[in-house]
Each structure stands twice: as C-alpha cells, then as structure tokens.
Chain A
Amino acid sequence: EPEVTQTPSHQVTQMGQEVILRCVPISNHLYFYWYRQILGQKVEFLVSFYNNEISEKSEIFDDQFSVERPDGSNFTLKIRSTKLEDSAMYFCASSSGVSNQPQHFGDGTRLSIL
C-alpha cells in the first residue's frame, strides 16, 4: 500500500539555525499537510497546500515557517531561526482531495532544538 515517507526521522539542530523537513506524499494525492505534536500533547494542524499554494494555515504557522513543493514528488517544511519551543514531532500527510477520503500520515520527523 502506498505510504507517505518523511526524512529525516530525527533532526537535531542548534537554536537559531534553519531546518528543512522533507516529505514524499502518496503519488496521486493532490492535498498536502503538515501537523506537529509537541511531546505529550495533541496533534496540531499547521498548514495545508493545494495546487502549489497554501490553502489554509493555523496561527502557529507564522513567518518563521514556509512550505514548498520543489518538484513533482517532494513537499518540504522550512523553519527559519528555530526556537526551543519548535521541538516536536512533525507529521506530513496527504489526501486525494475527494472529500470522503482520509488523510494518510507519514511516520514523522522528531525535531530537537538545542
């Protein structure tokens, strides 16, 4: 069964540095998402992306964050000038765009800011 893949599985970065998290969505999916899960807390929506532009973003997704689909397969989340509170598990998801179909999630990238 097709899967969403994320790399790296664990990223350790110094505070203030930039980090790029990478995702390969399921190939025929049209909608892409990033969520995050701070340790011990619930999964929170960050941003959705469709037709090469952001379709919705949460209040968490400020100017520090950006997303890009640089080619036909990858979907990236860039975090500039990382802060300690950015430490979390970041999940990528994709969906076909048919309204009754679920979002499929990757295994996540654990981001640790030191």
Chain B
Amino acid sequence: AQSVAQPEDQVNVAEGNPLTVKCTYSVSGNPYLFWYVQYPNRGLQFLLKYITGDNLVKGSYGFEAEFNKSQTSFHLKKPSALVSDSALYFCAVREDFGNEKLTFGTGTRLTIIP
C-alpha cells in the first residue's frame, strides 16, 4: 500500500522569505514522487517530480524539492516566496512498477503574506 502525509494544513510565509512545504511518503517499492499545485476553481497543475537520480529536483516557477530516502521525505521548497505562490499544494506518490495510481496527501494551503 502507498500513502502520503502532509503534516501541515496551512503554511504562512512572508513575501521574499524561503518557504518549505513538508511531505513524507510510504511505498512498498521505489517511489515516484510528485508535487502538484491547485489554484481556486482549477485542476491540479504539475510542478515537479522525482523519479531517480539527483535528490534535488527543480520544477516550474522556481520551486524545487529534495528527496530524502532515509527520512522518506520529499519537501517542496522555494528560496524566495511570491504572493502569487499562494495556493493549495499536493504531494503525490506512486510505485515504480505496476499500476500508475497516484496517492495524494491531504494538501497544504500556502499563504504568502505581502
């Protein structure tokens, strides 16, 4: 079975400060990990993924995420937050074999304060 935990329902960050949105996962095999962002009344927009290789992956809009196998974590980061980054962020995992079903976390609402 696969699962994802996003321990923070809400994260508030001042504009210009670094941000981190936390995610931990559990899978039987090797993980494929994803971050998606959801703006109001819109679908899930792909931000970045970890499949294999470098533990630090870079994605859209200046976001990056660090894969840590020992801590089973995949935290989303950005060095300098923008007000336009305010949205709902979802971490998702699937196993590296078999089905392509994505399992999502409960989401973290990120608010950037001007």
Question: For window 45-69 of chain B, which residues contact chain A by CB distance below 8 Å?
Answer: 45-46, 49, 51-52
Instruction: Provide the A36-67 mask, 1 if CB < 8 A to any CB of B, else 0.
Output: 00000111110010000001101000000000
Asked whether B44 lies within 8 Å of A91 as measured between CB atoms, the reply is yes
The number of chain A residues touching the other chain, given as a range, is: 20 to 34
Asked whether B44 lies within 8 Å of A45 as measured between CB atoms, the reply is no
From B16-24, B70-78, B79-87, B96-104, the one touching the partner chain is B96-104
Asked whether B105 lies within 8 Å of A42 as measured between CB atoms, the reply is yes
Asked whether B43 lies within 8 Å of A91 as measured between CB atoms, the reply is yes
Question: For window 92-114 of chain B, which residues contact chain A by CB distance below 8 Å?
Answer: 92, 96, 99-107
Asked whether A41 lies within 8 Å of B101 as measured between CB atoms, the reply is no
Q: A99 with B99: in contact, given A41-B106, A105-B44, A106-B43 (CB under 8 Å)? A: no
Determine the chain A residues whose CB is within 8 A of the CB of B104 once the complex forms.
42-44
Kindly provide the distance from the CB of B36 to the nearest chain A CB, expressed in whole angstroms. 7
Nearest A residue (CB) for B4: A42
Which of B36, B41, B100, B107 is the most central at the interface, judged by chain A CB atoms within 10 Å of its CB?
A: B100
Partner among B43, B51, B96 whose Cβ is within 8 Å of the Cβ of A108: B43
Q: How many A-B residue pairs have CB under 8 A?
A: 61
Give the CA-CA distance A48 to B97 in the complex, in Å: 15
Kindly provide the distance from the CB of B74 to the nearest chain A CB, expressed in whole angstroms. 14
Kindly provide the distance from the CB of A47 to the nearest chain B CB, expressed in whole angstroms. 9
Determine the chain A residues whose CB is within 8 A of the CB of B106 once the complex forms.
41-42
Determine the chain A residues whose CB is within 8 A of the CB of B36 once the complex forms.
105
Asked whether B44 lies within 8 Å of A43 as measured between CB atoms, the reply is yes
A86 within 8 A of B: no
Nearest A residue (CB) for B34: A102
18 A–B pairs (Cβ distance < 8 Å), ordered by A = A33-B100, A33-B101, A33-B102, A42-B106, A43-B102, A43-B107, A44-B104, A48-B99, A55-B99, A56-B99, A56-B101, A91-B44, A99-B32, A100-B51, A102-B46, A103-B100, A105-B46, A108-B43
Given A41-B106, A42-B90, A43-B92: 5 more A-B contacts, CB < 8 Å: A43-B90, A44-B104, A56-B101, A105-B45, A107-B41
A-B complex: 4 closest residue pairs judged by Cβ atoms: A105-B43, A105-B44, A107-B43, A43-B104
